[in-house]
Amino acid sequence: MSDYLVKALAYDGTVRAYAIRSTAMVQEAANRHETWRTVTAALGRALSAGTMMGAMLKGDEKLTIKIEGNGPASPIVIDANARGEARGYVSNAQVDPERKASGKLNVSEAVGTAGSLSVVKDLGMRDNFTGSVPLVSGEIAEDFTYYFATSEQTPSSVGLGVVVGKDEVVEGAGGFIIQLMPGASDETIEKIEKNLGNMKPISQLVQEGLTPEEILETILGDGKVKVIDQMGVLFQCRCSRERISNAIMSLDKTEIIAMIEEDGGAETTCHFCNKTYNFSKEDLQSIMEEKDQQ
């Protein structure tokens, strides 16, 4: 069962909907960052939402989401594009708050209940679009719901679920974003609200293995969902040795000399995917020679 997302319309196009299965990508993020379960859930929820938001973009557009709460795992940063690729990290992966009385992972404890959620969209124009809202709960889905309503003036319902089992294995991850377009009737809104109120928690649906299409049918009603696009999704970081090398080359010469003479090399780790790149003295010297030739 590979990860994918669907974009759909319902009720004569007055409802726009997205749903995702992100189990493998969340597991990949957890493996790379060695997150503990509550942080896996926090990062996984944000990654799932970010990937769906990426799917709202076109072509080479991309976005960055930053959740800066007052909890120990924050900030959480997610990058996503329109091709179903996303990457992300947390500032502290090894946080282990106690579960809630209900037995659920205490995500808001890890993220924090006060702070902000901001979204920067690079739409290929001179200025980026930026929206920022205060955190509502730190549980992430509610925070995105508030973001859409406030910053994008789009009434939305966001559900995100990550189930972490024994040995930190991600047993299921996924979610949905339902958005009301202008012209949505009261009847449509009532029906969706009723379905949302009656459905099982999203974490249970993803654990049961419901497909994104089935999740949308649960919320919007059988036979109401018109899928308009489907795409594979994955955790993908485009960092490379060459990019890091270019970054080093753009540094001041004295800084590169300091790396050679004082540190005897350079080691740098990509925040997003936790991959480490090592540059020996000789590597740095050849970078400097190349810089001199520019």
Residues that bind Zn ion (CB under 5 A): 237, 239, 270, 272-273
Contacts of 125 (CB under 8 A, 6+ apart): none
Amino acid at 87: R
- Cβ at position 237, least distance to Zn ion in Å: 3
Nearer to Zn ion, 147 or 272 (CB): 272
Cis before 75? omega within 30: yes
- Cβ at position 243, least distance to Zn ion in Å: 9
Cis before 201? omega within 30: no
- Cβ at position 62, least distance to Zn ion in Å: 15
Nearer to Zn ion, 42 or 270 (CB): 270
- Cβ at position 57, least distance to Zn ion in Å: 20
CA distance 294 to 290: 7
Dihedral over Cα of 232, 233, 237, 238: its sign? positive
- Cβ at position 276, least distance to Zn ion in Å: 10
Yes or no: say if 78 and 86 are a contact pair by the CB < 8 Å rule: yes
Nearer to Zn ion, 4 or 272 (CB): 272
Which residues, listed in sequence order, are joined to residue 162 by a DSSP beta bridge?
173
Nearer to Zn ion, 52 or 273 (CB): 273
Yes or no: say if 50 and 80 are a contact pair by the CB < 8 Å rule: yes
What 3-state DSSP class applies to 199? coil
Nearer to Zn ion, 75 or 138 (CB): 75
